[in-house]
A and B are shown apart, each in its own frame.
Chain A
Amino acid sequence: MTSLLIIVGYLALLLTVALASSRFAKGTSEDFFLASRSIGPFLLLMSLFGTTMTAFALVGSTGKSYNLGVGVYGLMASWAAVVHPLMFALVGLKLWQLGRRHHYVTQVQYFRDRFQSDRLGQLLFPILVLLVIPYLLIGVQGAGITVAAVTKGAFPTFFVDAAGAPSGIPAWLTGAVICGVVLTYVFWGGIRAAAWANGFQTCIFVVVAVLTFFTISSALGGVEAATAATMAKRPELLIRGQSIGQAQFLSYGLVGLSMGMFPHIFQHWMTAKSASTFKLPVIAHPILVALVWLPCVVLGIWAAGQLSVPPAKANAVLGIMVAKYTTPVMSGVLTAGILAAIMSSLDSQFLCLGTMFTHDVVLRGELLESADDARVIWIGRAFVTGVVLVTYLLSLVSNRGIFDLGVWCFSGFSGLTPLVIAALYWRRATRVGAMASVLAVVVSWSVLFAMDSMGVGGEHGEFLVGGVMPVTWVFLSSTIAMVVGSLLSTPPDAEHIRRFF
């Protein structure tokens, strides 16, 4: 009960902070969707980092290291230290410059303009939406799993499992509450409220990740004793050995390229005040990633020395460790921190989908220019509400592993990265090349995802093709299609291209 009260108190505080941002609102649609392009370095860092770190980073990384061992940190976190800042500098900064010049709000607007093709926009829009939805599901699912584990047995009168034994708060209820909270502040405050909430929540979950590490290590008899227990029970988790292949490890670097094509990250880039605003995120992002991932991965391998959770239930490991090795007060604080990480991603993703529906479907081109601001904002709010509802309903039926679902989602976005790189740096890139590149992603990703779903090609506990991650083949096919398609088609008009270089 104490844990639950702390969680409820945290959610109330979050709403207060986020809604306080509305004091700075200007009432324009540019302010609602892009915070009037006025966000400074600290809030941009917090928004980009908070949006990137979701249940995938906390719940997923702990579960994955429980199954695979220490190599999980190198697969994602240390790759992120190289690839994410590279994307901020090479893609984010350049898109920000073009966005200010041509008043872009969404990625589709940019690609449609750069390649002079409405069809490309029509093709890209549903793909981006379909790839963001699994990312949203990761958050809602992760919250449900964690809260259920932490509150297990706390309400024996209200919540019991199928066998009649006391269970935790069910995932459907947690999902409904966090979707409701996030929807409330995004609905009223737009991206400014999301940025403020992200700033607040990111500080909370970084502190909580470190706090969790020290609290649990102390309960396990100290860091040395905790590692010794894993060494005695599952020594293979302390090295990469056979659990991760060298080529697989290398190919995970491509997963991080997804940062260049996330629509919610694009929207945050557009909010930056100046080019200098990007400097802090480029430099500080690797350190923040380490502060969150390192404790989670270590907790995952320590959990393997203490628990006997079946591999398929590894997503629950973090919640179980928190519930088992901390006091109810700490348990409430730690759960609030986990929810903070999850909600700091959900808000931006909900808002970006609402923004895309508003700008790329309902109010395109002249319609957008002639519509009054209040109407644009209300259309955006209606779509955000719709997206939240659809995500919540899907979360009730989805049951894939969080880490794996995340990697598949990122792989799709990584496959689209050649499109943005070519658009920004290759004058010869054409609409035919762009269409071919997007179609290559659709085909290769779908085939590989179907193979994984049918259980073909499992190796090192993961679906690999030729010893490497599927993202390698998606990325390669997309790059080849872009180059070949562009070279075989008529070069773009030189006058038009000058607007972008």
Chain B
Amino acid sequence: MSVRTRRWLAGVLVVLITLLHHDGWLWDDPSLVANFLPIGLAYHAGFSFVASLVWAVVVYLVWPTEDEGDWGAQQ
């Protein structure tokens, strides 16, 4: 996979997770998950864990390996 494709993919993932934050469809939904957790709250709790996964993929795809170690000090 080229660097450009990786960056593009990482960008799409970040935009997608940002869009998923706005769960307008659950705004007035009073359902409970596991009989105690309001569904709007359960969605956002799950969102936090999915976001962590997305960041793991982004780091895998585009982390700047050329900037490792003493890169800064060698300039």
Contact = CB atoms under 8 A, between A and B. Distances in A.
Interface string A213-236: 000000000011011000000010
Size band of the interface chain A makes with B: 35 or more
A100 B29 contact: no
Contacts of A85: 51, 55
B56 A82 contact: no
Given A238-B38, A239-B40, A81 B72 contact: no
A238 B36 CA distance: 10
B10 to A, nearest CB: 10
A275 B64 contact: yes
Contacts, number: 121
A82 to B, nearest CB: 5
Nearest to A284: B52
A101 interface: yes
A93 B52 CA distance: 18
B24 A283 contact: no
B48 interface: yes
A334 interface: no
Contact of B67 (A82, A224, A275): A275
Interface string B13-52: 0100110011110011110101111101100110111011
Nearest to B45: A294
Given A101-B75, A246-B27, 15 more contacts: A74-B40, A74-B44, A78-B44, A82-B51, A98-B72, A227-B32, A238-B32, A238-B38, A241-B27, A250-B22, A276-B63, A283-B59, A286-B51, A294-B45, A297-B41
22 contacts: A70-B41, A82-B17, A97-B72, A99-B72, A100-B73, A223-B34, A227-B37, A238-B32, A239-B29, A240-B28, A241-B28, A246-B24, A253-B21, A275-B64, A275-B67, A276-B63, A279-B59, A283-B52, A284-B52, A285-B52, A290-B49, A298-B41
Q: Which 4 A-B pairs have the closest CB atoms?
A: A100-B72, A81-B51, A290-B48, A223-B36
Interface of B: 14, 17-18, 21-24, 27-30, 32, 34-38, 40-41, 44-45, 47-49, 51-52, 55-56, 58-59, 63-64, 67-69, 71-73, 75
